[in-house]
Copies of this chain bind each other. A is one copy, B any other.
């Protein structure tokens, strides 16, 4: 900065004013300074600026696997929203979801230069009592328990599961089998609970829950079992990947979809419309979740009032994998 000031024949303060777009600088001076900046390739030092201002203009995002469809879309939306607000994203991945790793990540976070944090951890794995985020650091949680002391932004899991289950019941199926997500996942639990509640509400028998782990393999394994059971006519998988695995199992077993068995997923991945048959599923608006969480966080950072929770609705996308229950 001093070099620029020298080059332009002004003081450092004037350079600072120009670089921050302040109005009280003479036009000719401003141009001289800008030219000097270009000539010298001046870049404001963000560390010094952050030190001075006490703000980093950066948002931390804590995530487990990036490799899940939903997390990725959410991250994308968070990044876009943050960029639009002039914030950058600092990614804090947690490779192995052990409690120790989570604590470690939070410790590292304390050292990070962030003004706020979005936590995208769906599991019970972090015990809030044990993680001490710096006081006053705004936090927003995505896809977790509502029992946290931080604001929560989340998809309406219960509504989505209800839509899927009712869709199948309305097609005339006696009941709906459920391939669930892992027991540690809040969203998996909420989908399962809502599936069960919807069945009861409609007076349908509640079959045993099939525990999965979001993977195609889990869907495949349970799909093989279900395919062998002639009484099964409708399956609701807790995500599209498990639905895909189930579809494969049904194909291998020679069961027709949807003529003999209907399958419904959850997520609406880009590929789901091209599965064979194209998958009926519950669409989640991850982009909206991401955008809303950033908005909430920014309110926490720049605003003053308390931040409200946000629930994002879902939508049932009906495709060829679900159809009327077979006669008889």
Interface residues in chain A, defined as those with a beta carbon under 8 Å from any beta carbon in chain B: 41, 43-48, 50-51, 56, 58, 65-67, 72-73, 75-76, 79-80, 83, 88-93, 95, 108, 110-113, 132, 134-135, 215-216, 219-220, 241, 244-245, 247-248, 251, 270-271, 273-276, 278
Q: Roughly how many angstroms separate A111 CA and B80 CA in the complex, as a whole number?
A: 17
Taking the nearest CB of chain B, how far is it from the CB of A302, in angstroms? 18
Cβ-defined contact, B270 with A67, below 8 A: yes
Copies of this chain, whole number: 2
Which residues from chain B contact A47 at a C-beta distance below 8 Å?
47-48, 50-51, 56, 113
Which residues from chain B contact A73 at a C-beta distance below 8 Å?
66-67
Cβ-defined contact, B88 with A112, below 8 A: yes
Residue of B nearest to A277 (CB): B251
Taking the nearest CB of chain B, how far is it from the CB of A181, in angstroms? 16
Cβ-defined contact, A216 with B273, below 8 A: yes
Which residues from chain B contact A244 at a C-beta distance below 8 Å?
271, 274-275
Residue of B nearest to A38 (CB): B132
Which residues from chain B contact A92 at a C-beta distance below 8 Å?
83, 88
Cβ-defined contact, B83 with A76, below 8 A: no
Cβ-defined contact, A111 with B241, below 8 A: no
Which residues from chain B contact A79 at a C-beta distance below 8 Å?
66, 91, 93
Cβ-defined contact, B58 with A80, below 8 A: no
Taking the nearest CB of chain B, how far is it from the CB of A61, in angstroms? 8
Q: Can you list 14 A-B contacts (CB < 8 A)? A: A41-B134, A43-B110, A46-B111, A46-B113, A47-B50, A50-B50, A58-B90, A66-B76, A67-B76, A72-B72, A83-B92, A83-B108, A113-B113, A241-B274
Q: Roughly how many angstroms separate A75 CA and B51 CA in the complex, as a whole number?
A: 29
Which of B76, B88, B274 makes the CB contact (< 8 A) with A245? B274
Q: Roughly how many angstroms separate A110 CA and B43 CA in the complex, as a whole number?
A: 7
Which residues from chain B contact A56 at a C-beta distance below 8 Å?
47, 113
Residue of B nearest to A269 (CB): B271
Q: Roughly how many angstroms separate A188 CA and B135 CA in the complex, as a whole number?
A: 49
Q: Roughly how many angstroms separate A79 CA and B79 CA in the complex, as a whole number?
A: 15
Residue of B nearest to A250 (CB): B276
Beyond A46-B113, A47-B113, A88-B108, 15 additional contacts (C-beta under 8 Å) are A47-B47, A47-B50, A47-B51, A50-B50, A51-B51, A67-B72, A67-B270, A88-B92, A89-B90, A113-B113, A216-B270, A219-B274, A241-B274, A245-B274, A251-B276
Residue of B nearest to A55 (CB): B47
Which residues from chain B contact A45 at a C-beta distance below 8 Å?
51
Which residues from chain B contact A248 at a C-beta distance below 8 Å?
274-276, 278
Taking the nearest CB of chain B, how far is it from the CB of A294, in angstroms? 12
Q: Roughly how many angstroms separate A244 CA and B88 CA in the complex, as a whole number?
A: 35
Cβ-defined contact, B91 with A89, below 8 A: yes
Taking the nearest CB of chain B, how far is it from the CB of A99, in angstroms? 17
Residue of B nearest to A73 (CB): B67
